[in-house]
Structure formats: C-alpha cells, structure tokens
C-alpha cells in the first residue's frame, strides 16, 4: 500500500503556499531580510508548533510570513514546494495564497502574484505540473478590505482562477462576505471557502447558499447534518479534507476518529490534502499514509480518494479526462 500511495499520480486541492514555509527556510529568510524572529534555532521554531486550535496556529502562521519580503522569497517558497511535490508524484496543484497577509506589511500585491506565477510556470515547464491559483480573503478582516483585495485580482484575472475564504472561522460567518463573493463570481472567479472546519454545519450550508461555492474546503462538520450531507453528495460538490491539519488543530481527537471513511460511505467526493504542510508535519504522501494507516483504508478506498482529487479539481474537461486516464492507467498497472 505504501508503494502504491507513494507512486500514484496525485492532485492537491487545498494548500496554502505560506503554509509551506519550513523552519529552515524561515530562519534563512529571516537572516537574508534582517527580520527578527522570536526563535534562536530551527529546533525552537519546531518546538513552537504545538497548537490547541485553529487560532493558535494562525497566530504563528501570520508571524512566520514576516520573513517573506522580496519577490525572490515568494518564488523560492513556491519553488521548494513544487520540487517537493514532483518527488511525491503530484501532477496537479490548486494553491491558495493570502495577499492580505503581505499587503498589510507593505508588500506589493503584484510582487507576490508574479513570483508565484513564475514558479508555477516553471513547474509546468520543468515537471509538467499543472496548477490553478486561488486568492483567499482573510475572514477576520473587513468586507471593505476584501473588496480592496478583489480590486487587485481584477487586474490580474489571467493569473488567478478563483477566490477563497480562510483564517478564523469562529465569529466570521460566510455571510460577512456575501457581497464580495457575488462580485468576484460576476467577474468570472470560481468561489471556494473554508467552512465546517471549526465552525458549525450551518457555515457549510451558508457557504453553498450565499457564497455559491463550487468546492468545500474542509467541511468536516457538515457530517453533523444528514440532510446537508445528502445535498452535497447529490450536487457532487467535492470536499478538500486535510487529515494531518485536522489532527494538529484538534478538529479530530485522534487520526483513528477521522471522518474520512464516513465521508466516502456517505457518497461524498472527499479528497486528501495537506493544508499547511510545514506546520502540520506532512505533505501529500504523508497525509495519505497517516490516514490510511489509522483507518486501515482499503486499496479501493485509496483509489477512490486519488480519483476524487482529479474529479474535484478545477481542470477543464479535456485536461481532466487526460489526467484521469493517466491515473486509471497507473491504477490498472499497479
């Protein structure tokens, strides 16, 4: 099973590029940019990664971003992730970025975007990895600030495929961003949102109804509402589930309690993703392996999860067919 998981073609649909900042790179960039960190060593950074909940993590995640200053920093960050994904046989990635985490520090939106776009283009040329970029609004900030961020994206439509919603779910319900999502969709951006991670099932329903999302990021707590589960299954809306993230942020109490199998059994298009791998202890392969081992997922279940990732991706119909053919050929031969 391990070899099959390692070698299978994979797609990642839930990845915050700022969450791939490994302690080693954080330290090196702090030095390069003369940023003072509250840690003396790489080990000290690692030891700080003990989270009781989402907010605990977010506090360190935003503090960590302070080392990303120059265009090259953003390129190096993305390139390191993409090189790593190539070694894990990841062939398609849909990547979130948090521009407000950077513009609030005086960094130019276009600096961030062009560095990420360059890294993604280079990964396509070098490794054949395909990608989509999704710009997230930080939900703890205001609607007005989200509109300002959307104004930047409008000028870069060719490079940004969709908009998302992340950061602190509790206290910032989906409807806070109903108008900005309406405008974003009007302009042709696909919509997704983190929901049902810490917040209730109602946040998942509201994200579908008011933000009109095409995919659910996390969505674990949707399982608390059977009618909602049937609706998500019937509408074929994919969920981007993040096992190691769920464990490290106490969304689940142990990996053996992870709801992934229940999601599959309910007919949901659940997928496996890494969220913020530098903070949660694993990239794609490690996420697959940890949940497979804990739940004793069968070969059929792993195959289904791998297929769901391509099915639930935002690849256009022709590219999706090609990617699924490659996937099915691999499955048949291994």
Interaction site with ligand ADE (CB under 6 A): 16, 19, 54, 61, 166-167, 194, 197, 245, 275-276
160 versus 193: smaller Cβ distance to Zn ion: 193
Q: Residue 23 touches which of ligand ADE, Zn ion, none (CB < 5 to 8 A by kind)?
A: none
Q: Provide CB contacts within 8 A for 70, sequence distance 6+.
A: 33, 111
169 binds Zn ion (CB under 5 A): no
Helical residues (DSSP H) of the chain, grouped into ranges: 2-7, 23-32, 42-47, 54-64, 71-87, 100-103, 109-127, 143-154, 178-186, 201-210, 226-235, 243-248, 260-265, 277-280, 284-295, 299-311, 317-333
Interaction with Zn ion in 291-310: which residues (CB under 5 A)? none
Cβ 296 to ligand ADE shortest distance, Å: 26
**Cβ–Cβ under 8 Å, residues 135 and 165:** no
- Taking CB atoms, the residue at the shortest distance from Zn ion is 275
Among residues 12, 169, 197, 198, the one annotated as catalytic is 197
DSSP states of 32-56? HTTPPPS-SSHHHHHHT---SSHHH
Cβ 205 to Zn ion shortest distance, Å: 19
Cβ 140 to ligand ADE shortest distance, Å: 9
280 versus 310: smaller Cβ distance to Zn ion: 280
22 versus 94: smaller Cβ distance to Zn ion: 94
Q: Residue 94 touches which of Zn ion, ligand ADE, none (CB < 5 to 8 A by kind)?
A: none
Cβ 274 to ligand ADE shortest distance, Å: 10
Residue closest to 23 by CA, chosen among 79, 70, 72, 80 = 80
Helix (H) or strand (E) holding 193: strand 190-195
9 versus 219: smaller Cβ distance to ligand ADE: 219
What is the rounded CA–CA span in Å between residue 123 and residue 155? 24
140 versus 307: smaller Cβ distance to ligand ADE: 140
Angle, helices 109-127 vs 143-154, to 10°: value is 50
Q: Residue 54 touches which of ligand ADE, Zn ion, none (CB < 5 to 8 A by kind)?
A: ligand ADE
Interaction with Zn ion in 222-281: which residues (CB under 5 A)? 275
Respond yes or no: is residue 303 known to be catalytic.
Answer: no
What is the rounded CA–CA span in Å between residue 239 and residue 268? 8
- Taking CB atoms, the residue at the shortest distance from ligand ADE is 166
Return the half-sphere exposure (C-beta side, CA atoms, 13 A cut-off) of residue 5.
21
Cβ 50 to ligand ADE shortest distance, Å: 16
Q: Which residues are catalytic?
A: 197
């Amino acid at each position: 099973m391990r070899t099959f998981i390692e070698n299978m073609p994979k797609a990642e649909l839930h990845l915050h590029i700022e969450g791939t900042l490994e302690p080693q790179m954080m330290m090196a960039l702090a030095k390069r940019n003369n940023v003072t960190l509250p840690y003396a060593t790489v080990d000290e950074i690692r030891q700080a990664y003990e989270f009781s909940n989402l907010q605990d993590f977010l506090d360190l995640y935003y503090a960590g971003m302070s080392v990303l200053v120059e265009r090259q920093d953003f390129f190096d960050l993305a390139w390191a992730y993409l090189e790593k994904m190539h070694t894990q046989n990841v062939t398609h990635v849909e990547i979130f970025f948090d521009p407000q985490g950077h513009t609030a520090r005086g960094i130019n939106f276009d600096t961030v975007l062009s560095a990420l776009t360059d890294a993604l283009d280079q990964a396509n040329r070098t490794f054949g990895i395909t990608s989509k970029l999704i710009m997230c609004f930080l939900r703890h900030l205001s609607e007005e600030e989200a509109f300002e961020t959307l104004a930047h994206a409008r000028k870069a439509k060719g490079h940004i495929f969709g908009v998302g919603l992340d950061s602190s779910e509790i206290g910032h319900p989906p409807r806070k961003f109903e108008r900005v999502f309406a405008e974003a969709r009007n302009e042709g951006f696909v919509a997704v949102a983190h929901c049902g991670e810490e917040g209730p099932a109602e946040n998942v329903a509201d994200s579908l109804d008011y933000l009109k999302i095409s995919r659910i990021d996390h969505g674990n707590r949707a399982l608390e509402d059977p009618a909602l589960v049937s609706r998500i299954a019937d509408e074929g809306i994919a969920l981007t589930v993040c096992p190691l993230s769920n464990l490290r942020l106490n969304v689940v109490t142990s990996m053996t309690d992870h709801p992934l199998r229940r999601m599959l059994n309910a007919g949901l298009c659940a997928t496996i993703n890494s969220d913020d791998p530098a903070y949660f202890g694993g990239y794609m392969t490690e996420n697959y392996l940890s949940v497979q081992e804990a739940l004793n997922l069968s070969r059929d279940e792993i195959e289904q999860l791998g297929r769901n990732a391509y099915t639930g991706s935002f690849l256009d119909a022709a590219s999706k067919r090609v990617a699924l053919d490659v996937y099915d050929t691999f499955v048949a031969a291994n």
